[in-house]
Chains A and B, each alone.
Chain A
Amino acid sequence: MNSLRLVAGALLALVPASAQQIPVVEKHLPNGFKLLMVERHEEPRIAGGWVVKVGSANEQLGTTGIAHLFEHMMFKGTPTLGTRDAKRDLELIAEQERVRDLMRQEEASLRLAYRHGEISDLTSPGNLTPRYRELETEFRKLIDEQRALLVKNEFDRVYTTAGASGMNAFTSEDMTGYFINVPANKLELWCWMESERLLRPVFREFYAERDVVYEERRMRVESTPIGKFAEEFNAVFWDAHPYMWPVLGWPSDIPNISKKDADAFYALYYQPQNITIVLVGDFKPDDAEAMVQRYFGRIPAGTRPPPEVTTREPEQAAEKRMYAEAETNPQVDILWKTVAFQHRDSYPLDVLQLLLSGRTGRLYKGLVLGKEVATETYAQQDSRKWAGLFNIGGEAKDGKTPEDVEQGIYAELERLKNELVPAEELQKVKNQFAAFEYRKLSANFPIFMQILQNEGSGDWREVNEAGAKLAAVTAEDVQRVARRYFTPEARAVAIYTRKPGAAASEDPDLAGLSAEQRPVVRRIVESLAGEKDVARLKQALSQMEAQSANADPKRQQLQKIIQKKVAARIAELEKP
């Protein structure tokens, strides 16, 4: 059976498997760093970076958000980059910490007052104790003194002046990645900068950066139409696993993170054996390895391995449902517990994702074109390092409900459970995976990012091995995983309906009209907005009034509303 499948795969495959490999050179430094290199001479630049195998899943309650805050702090410099006086700078940081510890003590009394209902907002300036405000003034003085010594964003300036681009970083549940593109002749600068900040980072401007993270949170979560609901839904979905909290951290945890916490976090997770370095571009691997060894070799090996995440999500006992009123069109979002990165069932689930997705996928055909209950749909298997989930959802078509979309989704899943996927449909999906094997090779940076993310999830080799595993998936595999994972007990369902009143999407006058009549009125309102001739409007209104007595009863309501709109426009134009 197995060999038969291989033969069939070879006949149908678009390309020989060997052509799809990314030629990665893997090396290990004595102090524990792993180094992955891909030599490419398409352009005179190098995409470089490193991934630390730590994310929000490694955090503890009380200091959630530390992995992300830490990522921000890694851009603040070193003893020689970022300040004019390294000695005084470190003294000032220590003094700031002393004041902050005292402020944290005051915060404890504020929290008690909050629990007793004496204050309702911990951050409002009016609620702060006199002692707290005194300390705050003292703290500000230290900040001002430090700022006078700062060389602002010098870490960034050195790179920018050297022709680097795209310096950034990201934090996810599973990993923290740092990256940049540098000119091919600046590999040594990259080694200097990155090894320096790993060897002796200085966490300057720690508390201003915390405020930046709050603004990031407002921007990504609190000020977006469904951000806060999505955060809540995620917390509903996971019972025990640390995936339950947001990567940005719980808002009340962020101010509790101290520099001491950051130092301990650094010592535990940012050690060489927990970090993989990735370079893709215009260099010779032998030269690059020697240079990386020379610079990164300075960093001491860690003393104890970082702990793994041992909490396993318990088997979910019952379906969960969340109902949210939001400023958005009605929609449904469903999550199922599935499997982690490189689990053998993750490949049939990836195939299942593509079977459902896109304009020729089953969801679009079934729900958008067929039943006409949705305007758009999506599906995704998310195989994370420690656990996985499958996500399906869609927006309800006007006149249909999120529950209609939900039932449509279940009907498509039932079909996958009951009937084997036809060979041609399966082949279509496999062809898309096969073509992706080439598309993924387009340029340095996308190649770099795939290696980095797969390594952060558990193993970079997946970039070269996934193709063959996906090609081997059978219709029976798809049916088996559909039956195994898409059960009511394994899912959580979020139903979104539009919050009434907010930013009036619908004119209340139109409520009593039929679906055909509503656009008529809207069109009239629209042309009225452009009409400035009051006399003409008045004439039209009197004509309508004269006719209204004779109107068809079915049209009387419509007629009345149009008259109201014309009258309103006249009133608006006559307003002094």
Chain B
Amino acid sequence: MRSLFITITAAALLVSGSLSAAEIPDRPEKLTFPPLTYEPPRPVDFRVPLKSGPVAYVVPDRTLPLVTISILIRCGNYLDPADKTGLAEFTGYLLARGGTTSRTAEELEERLAFLAANLVSSIGDDSGSVSLNLLSKDLPEGLKILREVLTEPRFQQNKLDLFRQQSIQGMKQRNDDSTAIEAREREFLAYGTNFWACRYTTEASVTAITAGDLHAFHHRWIHPGSFVVAVSGDFERTAMIAQLEDLFGNWPFPGEKPPAIPTNIVMAPPGIYIVNKDVNQGRVGVLLPGVLRSNPDFPAIEVMNDILGGGGFTSRIMNRVRSDEGLAYGAGSRFPGGVYYPRPFQAGFASKSRTVTYATQIVLEEMGRITATPVSDEELTTAKRSSIDTFPENFNTKAKVASLFARDEFTGRFAEDPNYWQQWRPKIEAVSVADVQRVAKEHLHPDRAVILMVGQRAEIEQGDPTHPVSLGKLSSGPVVPLPLRDPLTMAPLP
């Protein structure tokens, strides 16, 4: 092998005429690299508690003549009234798109388009946001528009009607794509159909929403006391702070503090849950109860999951399901820590119907193996180095720095742990082989998994003759058929 290498190098040398080629080693470990030190930016350097209420992170960046202002808002779908599911989403969508007292929606959109300014608003599960990106020369006009949008939105009736129509037509596609079906049913299994995040809009619920409801939601929840702000780009810091005070000062209505986000999740009992859908590739999700990201074991959990299925091509699930067996294009696992309530562990892949059970068995085996046997030092090193050495990517643009710190302020992480990012790398560095096995044992129980399959049920049950695995053997629980749901009412279909 050694001599083969020398021959090739010598041949290459003749071709390229480069003498230095002879020094190129045969293995990358033999290369040496200059040291690289990196210190992350500190939130305190950018944090500005505004007199007008919000905390802002102000990060000047004079390289390009652009400014980005992002406002996070404490509200979300959890505030929807029971019979008007979709109210938060509608309010969020139409806030920046439904006009203001002084401008129709059409005038507002034309002006923004002429300025090539991007203004978007939305409200999701546990936060809302309004953000504006524009050329710095247009900042004064942009701020004026932003103030109008935030304080006196018009929620123009024809825009509400249009969005309602678009939403209802969007609902009609709910059973068309197996990916969408899997995502929906996975949430139902993970949190329970009664959990607020599992409430879906229906034709009736969005038909019930009126412009008056949007105004009321806005007046109740959208006010500076609920804002956290991220600003980055081409401005001078003190001038920007003054502009933000003007933007948020003298709010025309008081608003309310939102209630705590409900956390009453209920995971389905262990079992195989199967939705019959006529597509030639079955989608599989393997679920187990998860953790909060504030869990002291979270760094160890991240490293463990990286080795198991989170690390792409270096992870065990990808190696076995894809590289060894060619059973899937993508295969892996996620262990996201929840901010407000635990989010489940999930492993998943998509494979042709006949090999769904075989691939599922491999995933369960790997979940078992990482609890039963210590991981290798090499695997641990790869997972740790990968996390630690890619760390600077979290801060690679000024807009990212501002929005990351604002997000930490919003979720309370900054208040709990102001040095979170400074201490992040040492915490990952400290994770040991024993830690990995300990957290795997604590959280991964393949026998208790909730397994969701979406695909051709009969084909999946028939399996692959070369690798026969019976569906029932994959779980201690029962095999439960799940119905599709009427896309407009979400009632189970017969």
Contact = CB atoms under 8 A, between A and B. Distances in A.
Nearest to B9: A298
A134 B127 CA distance: 60
Given A43-B395, A79-B1, A526 B31 contact: no
Given A14-B135, A215-B327, A298-B24, A376 B381 contact: no
Contact of A225 (B38, B133, B162, B176): B176
A224 B172 CA distance: 16
Contacts of B31: 188-189, 192
Interface in A182-226: 183-186, 188-189, 192-193, 199-200, 205, 207-216, 218-219, 222-225
A443 interface: yes
B173 A329 contact: yes
A162 interface: yes
Among A163, A188, A525: residue with most chain B CB under 10 A = A163
A185 B1 contact: no
A395 B351 CA distance: 31
Interface in B41-65: 63-65
B239 interface: no
Nearest to A440: B64
Given A42-B397, A200-B8, A223-B279, A438 B162 contact: no
A526 B325 CA distance: 45
A299 interface: yes
Interface stretch (B14-22, B146-154, B259-267, B428-436): B14-22
Nearest to A397: B165
Contacts of B115: 431
B252 to A, nearest CB: 28
Contacts of B33: 185-186, 188-189
A401 interface: no
Contacts of A14: 116, 135, 137
Interface in B321-347: 322-330
A444 interface: yes
Contacts of A360: 109-110, 113
Nearest to A523: B204
Given A153-B314, A223-B281, A328-B176, A211 B17 contact: no
A149 interface: no
Interface stretch (B222-230, B287-295, B484-492): B484-492
Interface string B123-159: 0000000000111010000000000000000000000
A208 B176 CA distance: 30
Interface string A111-149: 000000000000001000000000000000000000100
Nearest to A207: B326
A522 B489 contact: yes
A209 B12 CA distance: 30
B389 interface: yes
Interface in B297-335: 311-314, 318-319, 322-330
Contacts, number: 276
B173 A211 contact: no
Contact of A208 (B110, B165, B323, B466): B323
Interface residues of B, number: 102
A212 B114 CA distance: 47
A300 B8 CA distance: 11
Contacts of B65: 15, 19, 438
A218 B397 contact: no
Nearest to A510: B488
A369 B162 contact: yes
Given A160-B386, A165-B393, A219 B203 contact: no
Contacts of A185: 33-36
Given A160-B385, A438-B66, 14 more contacts: A31-B16, A75-B313, A79-B5, A125-B466, A160-B313, A185-B34, A185-B35, A214-B352, A294-B18, A360-B110, A397-B169, A431-B114, A439-B66, A519-B204
Interface of B: 1, 4-5, 8-9, 12-13, 15-18, 20-21, 24-28, 31, 33-36, 38, 63-66, 97, 109-110, 113-116, 133-135, 137, 162, 165-166, 168-169, 172-173, 175-179, 202-204, 207, 277-281, 311-314, 318-319, 322-330, 350-352, 381-382, 385-386, 388-390, 392-393, 395-397, 399, 465-466, 484, 486-493
17 contacts: A42-B63, A163-B385, A164-B389, A181-B393, A189-B31, A215-B351, A298-B9, A327-B177, A428-B113, A431-B114, A438-B64, A439-B66, A441-B64, A442-B399, A505-B175, A519-B203, A523-B204
